[in-house]
Chain A
């Protein structure tokens, strides 16, 4: 029932199983650790705002921000707040909503069984009323406004909005003050019933734990509940922007001391399915290291010319239905920042060929980064992308990275860059 995969050199073991109700459970015991971290995730996020509600036949377009709203409201029950239940045991609980997932988590150093039951019970027992939904609108309204004052947030989401002008990604994950005002308790139930079925969720537990005992607790909890039969979910794909729809440059003004530039690069190529997708993701990330990290010539040249400084950073991410890179930083020379970095990207094939000798170096660095993440229970759990990469864990990612060749990197880099489209998003004082 419980499958076991060991990673000998790392001294780590992953236990996993899928319960009869469809819930996928994955456990990683960590010897010597005091803490246990558990995170329960549904494959549902801000992107999924049009779908066929479970039990119905027609699709419905829901107000923007509904996934995030649901996340907030799931904690509140008729006579208590689930948050307080964790508090009784001193555990810290939290939740977050992304474009393609919503997660509920806790960390504890005692009473794992009780905390797990609280997590499973509050996630699996929704309670939404008109009164509680309306009260939440004030709190989330404040949250949205807080991000209005955060130039870093504005820069990142401004960039994403221009990469995905027709997709739901162009709207804040939390929605807008107007859109959340339209959300009703019935909407929340429709979304909940569709996406919070155990078969659309996974539960990862890492840290101080006994796998057999922990699974027995979870199984007993789940067996005592009744779930609707598992049905496939019909998401209605949003409109898709074409490369020509992406505005090359945008400038806006905010009060801040230094200009911020964020260059987004959207991939229009197809990410390979399953584990190959992870290899692709690792390879493209390393490509950015080769082109832009501080071991390279580009970085030093631009740093010495004051085009970039210590605030410069970049990343590449793959999510369900979207993959993109960002290169961002504060700079007093926003135009040079954009033109220099864009020129490097255009010249990438030649640049990469010239940087071949640095491949082992950036690979070593990436290996070190992953080994460092394995030190933390959160690092292990958060690296799990569920169905996206066919259940690969951080340990699988390390193995993929160690085996990656320079040619594989070039192939992935070409696939991504050849069909990518850039947007430059600048915020000026």
Chain B
């Protein structure tokens, strides 16, 4: 279920234009808002009373849900356009590539200022800002997942729909969405995990000298860590894990089992099962719902979206799509002007700033590389051992899943507390956070790869008495290679994102930071140095996109060509 690696696109000049335009739009928004905003920061004292925990959890969960619904809607519209409108595809996919490499905190000032300007003096502003921040950490891989689903619909299924004369809506309802459903469910699970990861950053933030705290688990955890209240910290953590496990058991397992029916063929592997789903399916309530509510709604929607007899063409501005297009063209013109202005502005930034940003990017790159190396170092032997041993796998998998579901950011304060006093402590703890956040992607993929090694290949290597290193070299490493690469691609994206929270920590009233581009972004976002924020965001995004194109995509293609067992 990786995201960026599977879309096969070459280099394109569109990347440059689009990247520039996005940054310019961000900059434009910033300048626009900062010039007339006068807002009152909302900050209250945070209570660490245990009795607040259920309500905190509920608030956080509702924010996540709102962000997820927003992501879902956005992903469907965006992916549909990208997949079925070839003119739009040329721009939408590069835009997405750039957007997903922009870290959450870079959006913070713009989003926060916008919503506070829209709802001055109300708690709605920061809350909406928080939802949008979570949205930016959830949405991109869902778009990629849906897009990949849409574009891989087999020719014959599409021809069936056309030859039977299904309307566009019916095609979407009966073919396109169902086909992409399984991938969508997987990506939704990943999106929720990503949302939890940034929950703390999205609930408690400051801008300039004003700080905002929203009631929720993220704020609770961060406040507890700041005050050094370890009991509260661990209680908050336990609550968070409980919420995640509940979500997994009551929502994701059943939905995943349900989505099995959207797979084209059941190829190998146990189909996912869920007791909850079985109970729900057998209930009379659901049957009644599907007969009385769902079926009539589908019928109604078919009629509603039936294209009526040809209408007279209306001027472009009068139709919704035409209006949208006009707006987009207008926005691009504004963006182009802003690009030019900001390019001049950025170029006039003193050379030391440039040098610092580039060096910082290099430092973060090194940390990302080290953390990936550490993750590979321990996950490959463990993952292979688990994957090759079915009984061990059955016992360990649920444990690993729970361990993986704990957002590394929630553990981070404890890690910092432990390592802070060592020589180069924050450097080490930054890498530890990156490892904590990303190792699971690699581990899960390695396990999947090792358990997919065909029995006959294993028997052959036993027959030839291949042992130790020889067996690894000839059988195991080639067999897990494509899976390893898939895991690494996702992990690398996660590590870059984690650098934002890993390199700049506010802890027990002190700010600890270590030189890196993530630190620059956090610092400039919180201090309101928008020029520096823009510069470091651009540097980070460009590096991530370049690494994706030059390293991961190549490795992925090579892995798919050469080592895939199909």
Q: Report if A and B associate in a common complex.
A: no
- Chain A interface residues (CB < 8 Å from chain B): none
